[in-house]
Chains A and B, each alone.
Chain A
């Protein structure tokens, strides 16, 4: 109860002057504690260092209640100090109850940790987690049943990582194997199918790009080959079928061109590109009237199709002529 303990604290003169049987030092201690007890941590109200042992909390509590229990002042007039003592006592009891309860204590220790202690605790926690992971892996390797489960787990984990990284082919590989090893895991099967679909789409795009490169060089038959492969990977790939039809026309394979254009029309009947492809095929077949109609429809659906515009102009010009 040193004087500097109260530095910065203003005692209400009326409280200090109340007519009760308590000496002034005790009054100060009670008033100071009452004003602070709600905002103090449990460590502070018991006057013990952070993370002190439960036994220390119990001892500190016993020492404190000897001062702050209203029963300690028999036959004395306490006035308003009785209620103040009661309030401090309750808070002390709360502190003791929590700090000796193994269930609630750990969380409170973390919540009230000073900054550097908190960092240390976090580091220790991470280290503990890493160790427990290692231990789990070690156990998994030793046991065939666990090993299988461990392998599924590992494949699924790797598959998911690849999936999130956008490496769908690798993801599909791992996930399909994992799903095969653990057939009852529906979530895994769904994810595997999704990865497979996305992997196919990626592959189709790559082949389509390769086809475009050949098309620019006017290597039509090579381009047609790529487009066909792209369509194998993803039969619904619209641009592959449209560009494929064009490449087939240029290669002189009208039958293939018609089949590709028809496929495009079937998979995307509302796509201008499909109608343009069909227009080109019809034009190549000599059906100028139908070709014109198809191209007009293509432009109706997608006015930005420059190729279609040009073909249409040529067709109109030849028709007018």
Chain B
């Protein structure tokens, strides 16, 4: 393997992302450059215009909520005006706008309008850089996971994000399938497995038949709008209402900074309650009080019992999705050989109990819910680039999560490829002209479960044009609908009589157009060249700053000694410590401008320390 390019598997999560690889036949998570296994899926533009990703972005989210984008996965591939996007607009602290065609969603970030795939691409690029640092080599190929219930638009946009991040996406695979892969890898097992994946923003259930290294997905189900963040929101709502009641109707939701603090506190409390029976939420100086009064604090106790009460219907929803999926697969709960829990939310005791009660068995505890998806993706990535060693072969047979079909007369939805069909697959459909000399046919392709077209997700409108002129009904066009192993839909058309390929124009998609993608990639190259130029400059400054820092650090013991004798300079030393901390942060953030600003202060600090150290030596010397 070592002579091949390294490949990685990436779990691009709603709240956190993980990158993993297979080394010497063992799948393992790659830590990021700060040494953590999980990287927050957060992108921000700091006040100084610097772009931040991951932990750094998360750290400044409270003070910079409007320019900090989290949970982009909830928006990716969504249509502007859809219920999901409308709901998100109400609760997200950053601003959403419609794309240029009015179909897709864009994010306003520091005065720029950015597409959602570009946001996700930043997270992917960060993970790519982490992996490159770990391997010491460039990484170009990856398998990226998505929730099984993602539709074509969401998958396509995720793939675009990979491309923008400079990755060749070998395959888009489903998160639960990926988890099952990591679970079964290297073990010669034959059993039916259910993956119950409750993540930050999405919920998925998959049923697999694992046999002789073939992972055959029998059925998938899910809800792309049900996850840990909904649990957080219940806690937040409870806190806001209680606060409004106690503090004469002050609405915390009006204050973005308070809202962000509340969100963090709610998430923290929820996590703590997985281990402890009760926890306290303490947020001092949360908002300014009414005129003349000081700042208001929030102080609350939350018990596990109460949390379970607040979120009972969410857990019930998960179980009913599981029930339906099992029915689709024609599998009874008793036939299930193993239940695998995936996603941080499955740590909640109430969720585990609900799963145990429904399946009548203890869920598997052998896999790490946060890492297992990335590990599976790494295994699949590995299997797609090199022949596997004996006993490590894997073959994934996944299915399409939703019915794929077209809109027919009367606004009805006609299924062309039913859900739970093994992919890759294809199906042809015959269209006939209905008017004399008809030159074009418009086909609205959609995905969903409803009989009524309007209730389903529109993937795009395909216009077959340049049809040869003939009497009505005399031209038949065979349209082939295809779903790739990535779960991405392709449409092609052919004139049945002449055998001629028919041209297709796609409009009204929820993603980026090919032209836009090209433009973004071009922009990126410009940016990269610029970065290269500034990188040299930055390195120079960093070296200079680090040299000064080293000198300062060497003087610290002497300075302390001096301070013990004289009260003079204590304030100055405290200020100096602040300068040192800021310089360190600037180096970490690779912020050349900030470093430049601090250089003068740093030099002054060095002079001060030198003076103090000299004063400390003097009495000793004479």
Residues of A within 8 A of B (CB): 58, 62, 65-66, 69, 71-72, 74-75, 86, 89-90, 93, 97
Contacts and interface: CB of A to CB of B under 8 A. Distances in A.
27 contacts: A58-B209, A62-B211, A62-B212, A62-B214, A62-B216, A65-B214, A65-B397, A66-B395, A69-B395, A69-B397, A71-B383, A71-B384, A71-B395, A71-B396, A71-B485, A72-B395, A74-B383, A74-B386, A74-B387, A75-B4, A75-B385, A75-B387, A89-B424, A90-B424, A90-B426, A97-B421, A97-B422
Interface in B400-448: 421-422, 424-426
A71 to B, nearest CB: 6
B384 A74 contact: yes
Contacts of B426: 90
Contacts of B395: 65-66, 69, 71-72
Interface of B: 4, 209, 211-212, 214, 216, 383-387, 395-397, 421-422, 424-426, 485
Nearest to B212: A62
Contacts of B425: 90, 93
Contacts of B386: 74-75
A37 to B, nearest CB: 14
A97 to B, nearest CB: 7
Contacts of B384: 71, 74
Nearest to B382: A74
B424 A66 contact: no
A56 to B, nearest CB: 13
Given A65-B214, A65-B397, A66-B395, 10 more contacts: A58-B209, A62-B212, A62-B214, A62-B216, A71-B395, A74-B387, A75-B385, A75-B387, A90-B424, A93-B425
A86 B424 contact: yes
Contacts of A75: 4, 385-387
A83 B536 CA distance: 48
A66 to B, nearest CB: 6
Contacts of A66: 214, 395
Contacts of A65: 214, 395, 397
Contacts of A89: 424
A93 B214 CA distance: 14
Contacts of A58: 209
Contacts of A74: 383-387
Contacts of A71: 383-384, 395-396, 485
Contacts of A86: 424
A90 B480 CA distance: 14
A90 B395 CA distance: 15
A199 B130 CA distance: 99
A263 to B, nearest CB: 63
A319 B358 CA distance: 113
A90 B386 CA distance: 24
Contacts of A93: 422, 425
A65 B395 CA distance: 9
Pairs of residues from A and B, 3 with the lowest C-beta to C-beta distance, nearest first: A93-B422, A62-B214, A74-B384
A204 to B, nearest CB: 58
A133 to B, nearest CB: 33
A89 B395 CA distance: 13
A93 B395 CA distance: 14
A89 to B, nearest CB: 7
A72 B393 CA distance: 9
A66 B393 CA distance: 10
B142 to A, nearest CB: 15
Contacts of B424: 86, 89-90
A97 B395 CA distance: 18
B440 to A, nearest CB: 29
A93 B212 CA distance: 17
A89 B387 CA distance: 20
B168 to A, nearest CB: 14
A97 B4 CA distance: 38
Contacts of B485: 71
A97 B329 CA distance: 12
A297 to B, nearest CB: 61
Contacts of B422: 93, 97
B376 to A, nearest CB: 15
B457 to A, nearest CB: 24
Contacts of A69: 395, 397
Nearest to B388: A74
Contacts of A72: 395
Nearest to A69: B395
B469 to A, nearest CB: 33
Nearest to B216: A62
A20 B386 CA distance: 16
A74 B389 CA distance: 12
Contacts of B387: 74-75
A74 B383 CA distance: 7
A313 B425 CA distance: 94
Contacts of B421: 97
Nearest to A72: B395
A65 B394 CA distance: 12
A72 to B, nearest CB: 6
A72 B383 CA distance: 8
Nearest to B422: A93
A155 B384 CA distance: 73
A116 B240 CA distance: 77
B335 to A, nearest CB: 13
A177 B211 CA distance: 66
A261 B23 CA distance: 116
Nearest to B424: A86
Contacts of B396: 71
Contacts of A62: 211-212, 214, 216
A69 B422 CA distance: 12
A154 B384 CA distance: 70
A58 B422 CA distance: 13
Nearest to A94: B425
A91 to B, nearest CB: 11
A289 to B, nearest CB: 74
A24 B357 CA distance: 54
A307 B386 CA distance: 109
A131 to B, nearest CB: 30
A97 B397 CA distance: 13
Contacts of B214: 62, 65-66
A20 B421 CA distance: 30
